[in-house]
């Protein structure tokens, strides 16, 4: 009897231990699940937290005065090539007091800041520096949304065109399709232009060097040559004048007839 009682007590203690262990495991799982739920936001929250990539158009104007213009131009060429840019336009102006290069440079936007820094680290005095940044994200999203809507409408009209039953319906739907295609083409062009402005920044760079002013008298012809030219122009002017008088001979005839008629009229009045 005593052995049976001890056996029953030990079994009860083992069952109580198993139940306690199970309860602890369940509590641990609930805590871990609760911590996971609290630390992990729902899918909708993740979607709302997605950051829209900004669409920034960067451009600027930079003017440098240097001592060695040609070497500076070669250095700028190297920097432009290094940063993957290109010249949209290049102009050289050589005056009596200054020689300057006017360069319109397109640079990938991610390299724009480093490009300007490399230009500024060279020899030269900064005369003008102007950097602008425009956020066109809203405009970009608006164009993309409108373009997507127009494409959806175009697809619907194409589906309706297949189901049209009369010539009138076909013509009306085709007119809608034509208008939508023109709007899609226009919006696509605007989007491409905007993307190009975002992807490539523009810098108007002027590098110039001052020169010592030198008087350069105007080259003129010799006196004898100019005299010959004046006499020739005078003679041709006189010939042109006489040819003009001959050219209007009908007016001379009418003038003579009017003159004689007027004299005849005056004589009659005197006789009276």
pLDDT in tens, 181-194: 999 999 999 999 98
Tens of pLDDT along 228-260? 788 888 888 888 888 888 888 888 888 888 888
Q: What is the pTM of this model?
A: 0.55
User: Domains of the chain: which residue ranges?
Assistant: 56-135, 137-197
Average pLDDT over residues 99-125: 91
Domain 56-135 sits in CATH 3.30.420: no
* pLDDT tens for each residue of 72-89: 999 999 999 999 999 999
The DSSP secondary-structure symbol of 42 reads: -
- Please give the average per-residue pLDDT across 21-33, as a whole number: 41
Among 41-50, 176-185, 215-224, which stretch is predicted with the lowest mean pLDDT?
Answer: 41-50
Q: Give 64 or 52, the one with higher predicted confidence.
A: 64
Would you say 179 and 202 are in contact if contact means Cβ atoms under 8 Å apart? no
pLDDT digits (tens, 9 = 90+) for 141-155: 998 999 999 999 899
> Averaging pLDDT over each range in 21-35, 51-65, 203-217, 256-270, which range is the top one?
51-65
User: Which residue would you say has higher pLDDT here, 222 or 147?
Assistant: 147
Give the pairing of strands 56-65 and 200-210: parallel
State yes or no: pLDDT of 19 exceeds 50: no
Q: How many CA atoms lie within 13 A of 79 on its CB side?
A: 22
The per-residue pLDDT for 37 is 43
| pLDDT value at 13 more than 50 | no
pLDDT of 175 strictly over 60: yes
- Do 91 and 102 form a contact (C-beta atoms < 8 A)? yes
- 193 versus 14: which is more confidently predicted? 193
Q: In which band, very low, low, confident or very high, does the pLDDT at 222 lie, cut at 50, 70 and 90?
A: confident
Q: Mean pLDDT score of the chain, rounded to an integer?
A: 79
How are strands ordered across the β-sheet holding 98-108?
86-94, 98-108, 200-210, 56-65, 125-135
């Amino acid at each position: 009897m005593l052995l049976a009682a001890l056996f029953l007590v030990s079994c009860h203690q083992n069952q109580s231990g198993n139940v306690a262990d199970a309860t602890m495991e369940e509590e641990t799982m609930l805590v871990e699940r609760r911590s996971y739920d609290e630390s992990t936001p729902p899918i909708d929250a993740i979607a709302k937290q997605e950051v829209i990539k900004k669409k920034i158009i960067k451009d600027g104007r930079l003017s440098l005065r240097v001592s060695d213009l040609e070497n500076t131009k070669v250095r700028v060429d190297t920097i432009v090539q290094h940063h993957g840019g290109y010249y949209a336009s290049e102009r050289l102006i050589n005056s009596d007091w200054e020689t300057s290069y006017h360069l319109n440079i397109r640079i990938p936007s991610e390299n724009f800041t480093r490009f300007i820094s490399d230009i500024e680290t060279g020899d030269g005095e900064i005369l003008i520096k102007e950097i602008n940044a425009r956020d066109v994200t809203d405009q970009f999203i608006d164009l993309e949304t409108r373009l997507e809507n127009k494409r959806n409408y175009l697809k619907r009209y194409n589906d309706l065109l297949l189901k049209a039953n009369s010539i009138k319906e076909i013509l009306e739907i085709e007119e809608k399709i034509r208008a939508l295609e023109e709007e899609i083409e226009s919006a696509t062009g605007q989007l491409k232009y905007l993307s190009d402005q975002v992807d490539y920044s523009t810098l108007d760079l002027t590098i110039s060097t001052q020169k010592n002013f030198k008087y350069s008298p105007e080259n003129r012809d010799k006196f004898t040559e100019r005299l010959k030219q004046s006499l020739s122009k005078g003679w041709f002017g006189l010939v042109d004048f006489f040819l003009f008088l001959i050219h209007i001979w009908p007016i001379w005839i009418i003038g003579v007839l009017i003159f004689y008629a007027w004299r005849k009229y005056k004589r009659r009045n005197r006789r009276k």
